[in-house]
A and B are shown apart, each in its own frame.
Chain A
Amino acid sequence: MRRGDMAARLRRDGGWWALLLPAFLLLSVFYITPILQVLAISFTEPEPGLGNYQRIATNLSVQRVIWTTLRICTITTALALMLGYGLAYAITLASEQARRWWLLCVLVPLWISVLVRAFAWVTLLRRQGLINQTLQGAGIIAEPLQLVWNEFGIIVGMVHYMVPYAVLPMLAAMREIEPRLLAAARGLGASRGQVFRQVFFPLSAPGLVAAGVLVFIFSLGFYITPAILGGGRTLMVAEWISLQILDLIRWGLGTMMATLLVVTILVTLAVFSRVVNMRRLFGGA
């Protein structure tokens, strides 16, 4: 009876399972396999063992790049959350008409090429850039400021990239807050600050955490913006890996760092999946 059931179920649903196959095969052969290979190489080259991982404890360059990355990512996440929260708050409380324009301010930067955005910041921030020229022309500064090709430039560019990613989950959480609650709290005698602290903020907190997780894990492996705005002087993990593989041909060290990066991201997600609804974060059905 049980086996008959199984056969009947397979006959019934077999067609649907077949529809899963093309995407699944493509992902397995051309995505999962190359990535698993990266993980494997970190244990096998230059010689089998944990040699590459011992470098975390001994190698100063490895330690410096990890430290730099964590520091920049933390600052970026904090700033992106602060700015994004303000923007999401304004969008949530805006009228239907205004909301469309606010949303466009978030979505257009989100989808415009990261290269174009980094290029815009270079144009603005470099020594002969628009900001330095304007300030010098106005006589405010005598010497051009060093605004780019350092950590400051990286953070300005990264926060610019990450704010839209921070806004979207927070907006989703804030849109669910019943507006009459806020009006009711005001009506009950709460000041504007009290309404925000005691009603709005606690209700929007899950969105804040989700946004924080999203921005932090995206920042960790970020390549293009730090590479362009850091000018090769401040290295973050992704550019460092690229350097190991393409220029120094040190596959073992590069893949070790890549493995560390993936593990850090997956662990962060796993830890926060208890707090944050990940399915919603990535558009669940």
Chain B
Amino acid sequence: MDGIYRPGWVGRALGWGTALYLVLPLFIILPVSVTDQRFLSLPHEGISLRHYAALFAAPDWFASIAQSFWIACASTVLAVGTGTLFAIACWRLNRRSTELLRALMLLPLIVPSIVYAIGLYRYFGWWDLLDRFAGVVIAHGVTGIPYVVITVSTALASFDPRLEQAARGMGASLRQVLAWVILPRIMPGIVSGAIFAFIHSWDELVIVLFIASRDVFTLPRRIWDGINENQDPIMAAVAVLLIGFTTLLLVVDMALRRKRDT
């Protein structure tokens, strides 16, 4: 709108207030994480990196980070692989039945995780997937599909369907059309979807609380225990690193979008 019409003071105050409410609590963690005290507080005498040092020296935190990372990678591959093909097929077939299927695919965004988690708790018992790497990957992968379907569908919306027709008309098979024409064009959308599916798995806690216990102990699970059981400033260090990591992924995503738009 570029300054044609400016908000009045009420609008401006409400906007600024809300932005501060959203962002400030996150910034508070930074000074807390460098406190020189043994409990969660602002630094008293000076700043100290002892809690970061403690974090990197703790093997259990490190194991959880590694485990979360590999689970997130595997479930992202699962979600991106199936979700991308699904979104492309829906876009190409484009009829009432595929619209319905697409809506169905968005269910994991709508149905609360707690409902899915208790369902899996019993269901995975039969499949012997409780407390298994594969079990968590499947659960995170399935619930990550909607993010991929949304970003890929958005990318396809600006894809000229005649390009697909042109390729077909020149004798390209379905596989060739996919690999040489469609996928290269919608790559930014796929990467966006992959980033969101990754963050989804990396942060997911509710499902993990039910279907994992000892062998699979992800980072969110360890943070959860940390918040509930002690008030160790190590938690603040973990939180700062997580905020940094997520912000980095978002900046990558934004850069990709800008590249796609130009």
A interface residues with partner B (beta carbon < 8 Å): 13, 15-17, 19-20, 22-24, 26-27, 30-35, 37-38, 41, 82-87, 89-96, 102, 105-109, 111-124, 128-130, 133, 160, 163-164, 179-180, 182-183, 186, 192, 195-196, 217, 220-224, 228, 238, 241-242, 245-246, 251, 254-255, 258, 261-262, 265-266, 269, 279, 282-285
Contact = CB atoms under 8 A, between A and B. Distances in A.
Given A86-B15, A115-B203, A27 B111 contact: no
Contacts of A118: 227
Contact of A224 (B2, B25, B28, B206): B206
Contact of A17 (B81, B93, B142): B93
A26 B124 CA distance: 14
A261 B118 CA distance: 13
B167 interface: no
Contact of A245 (B11, B28, B121): B121
Nearest to B120: A34
Contact of A26 (B40, B115, B145): B145
Interface string B215-234: 00000100110011000000
A230 B23 CA distance: 22
B242 A238 contact: no
A116 B235 CA distance: 9
B241 to A, nearest CB: 10
Question: Which range holds the interface residue count of chain B?
Answer: 35 or more
A245 B211 CA distance: 12
Contacts of A22: 81-82, 85-86
Nearest to A177: B1
B83 interface: yes
A93 B7 contact: yes
Interface string B90-126: 1111000010011111111111111110111111100
Contacts of A223: 112-114, 206
A128 B40 CA distance: 9
Contacts of B6: 93
Nearest to B141: A26
24 contacts: A19-B85, A20-B90, A23-B85, A26-B141, A27-B104, A27-B145, A41-B122, A83-B14, A85-B14, A90-B7, A112-B26, A113-B223, A118-B227, A120-B25, A120-B29, A123-B29, A123-B32, A128-B40, A128-B41, A224-B224, A238-B114, A241-B114, A246-B210, A282-B106
Contact of A221 (B13, B113, B202, B228): B113
A263 to B, nearest CB: 11
Contacts of B122: 34, 37-38, 41, 251
Contacts of A251: 122
B92 A16 contact: yes
Contacts of A117: 25-26
Contacts, number: 277
Contacts of B209: 242
Given A90-B14, A120-B29, A241-B118, A23 B239 contact: no
B116 A111 contact: no
Given A24-B101, A30-B139, A120 B114 contact: no
Contacts of A124: 25, 28
Given A34-B122, A38-B118, A262-B111, A122 B227 contact: yes
A168 to B, nearest CB: 12
A30 B142 contact: yes
Nearest to A18: B89
Contacts of A192: 8
B157 interface: yes
B118 A105 contact: no
Most B CB within 10 A of own CB, among A32, A33, A160, A284: A284
B29 A119 contact: yes
Given A111-B246, A221-B115, A262-B115, A86 B18 contact: yes
Contact of B110 (A19, A38, A128, A269): A269
A17 B89 contact: yes
B57 interface: no
B226 to A, nearest CB: 8
Contacts of A83: 14, 17-18, 21
B260 interface: no
Contacts of B48: none
Contact of A87 (B19, B40, B143): B19
B181 interface: no
Given A23-B105, A113-B203, A228 B228 contact: yes
Interface string B1-45: 111111110011111111101110110110010000001111000
Contacts of B224: 115, 224
